[in-house]
Amino acid sequence: MVYNKSEIARKTGLSRVAVTNILNGKQKNPKLDTLERLAETMDCSIDELKTKIKTDAVS
């Protein structure tokens, strides 16, 4: 399932700005708990999430 950043923020409890910064690679060292919440919400592993961040595959 594909969510936009606002939906991801709502589902994770993070701010949209925080989600945007993490997914755009601007937040260099997000906490493990934050990555786990993002990965769970996006239905992927943390490794897959890292790949998405590096390739800017998140819209």
C-alpha to C-alpha distance for 15 and 48, rounded to whole angstroms: 22
5-55 topology per CATH: 434 Repressor (Amino-terminal Domain) (1.10.260)
Give the pLDDT of residue 56.
57
CB 43 within 8 Å of CB 1: yes
HEC sequence for the chain = CCCCHHHHHHHHCCCHHHHHHHHCCCCCCCCHHHHHHHHHHCCCCHHHHHHHHHHCCCC
Give the pLDDT of residue 1.
58
Structure tokens at 4: 């936009």
Give the pLDDT of residue 36.
95
Give the pLDDT of residue 8.
94
pLDDT in tens, 1-59: 567 899 999 999 999 999 999 988 899 889 999 999 999 999 999 999 988 887 655 55
* Domain ranges across the chain: 5-55
Give the pLDDT of residue 31.
94
